[in-house]
Structure 1
Amino acid sequence: IPSAGFSLMDFNFDADFSLAKVVAREVTQRMLAERMPEHFLLNVNIPKITAEAYKGIRICRQADAKWAENFDRRKDPRGRDYYWMTGKFINRDRGEDTDIEALNQGYASVVPVRIDFTDDKLKSWLEQKFK
């Protein structure tokens, strides 16, 4: 089944999803019009910008970046514990062909993701070691 995940890079409760709607429609229509390869999905990120500032879609690779997560223990109004994720985003990849750079330049990023997680290099190395 052709699949895509869509994320708007706005974490506010009152986020404006109008650009996300446009991007999701375009990507979905293209996915349905074309025969997508099996065992792939698309990771789509939409920048937090106005429709006027939007430059289009860029096909990218995923940046070497991650959240350095911390979790704050807090209390809700009824005194129950809950945990709120905090931390900071660390981007170790300054490549111009990354999803983060596309977002920074006003593009929606589309990263094709392969479902097969096999590490082919390690597999070849292990095959030699286990002969």
Structure 2
Amino acid sequence: MHPVSRAWMQIAGWGLFILGAVGIVLPLLPTTIFWIGAVWCWSRSAPHLTKRILAHPRFGQPVYLFITYGEISRMGKWMAVLGMSLGFAIFQLIGSPGWQLSLAVLLLLTLVAIWLWQRPEPTLSRQG
């Protein structure tokens, strides 16, 4: 990989990692999806950082299962849909968007939820 590309991938990885870390303390901001993105960036630019995320006691296994097998646990699916629902409700209450924007966001979130629920779930042998 070209050094400039490697640098941009590392920067993007750090940005995604930081967003995920903030998500640990902010209930509506997800952690796992940002760390999946960080792993994707770092696997191409800084593999040692990928190993650190995968070793995380709480979020490492869900990231590993998604990256390796495309699997999401049932609890992960429920938490993602709950987070999207709460985020949409807050968006409606605080943002006061017009009906067109509300409909567009709702459609996007619905499509993401449908995609999410179609992902396979980990087999018993892979669940921690």
Task: Place the TM-score, normalised by the shorter chain, in its bin.
Answer: under 0.3
- Larger CA Rg, structure 1 vs 2: 1
Structure number with greater CO (CA < 8 Å, separation at least 6) is 1
| More helix as a share of residues | 2
| More strand as a share of residues | 1
- Could you state the TM-score of these two structures normalised by the residue count of structure 1? 0.25
- Could you state the TM-score of these two structures normalised by the residue count of structure 2? 0.25
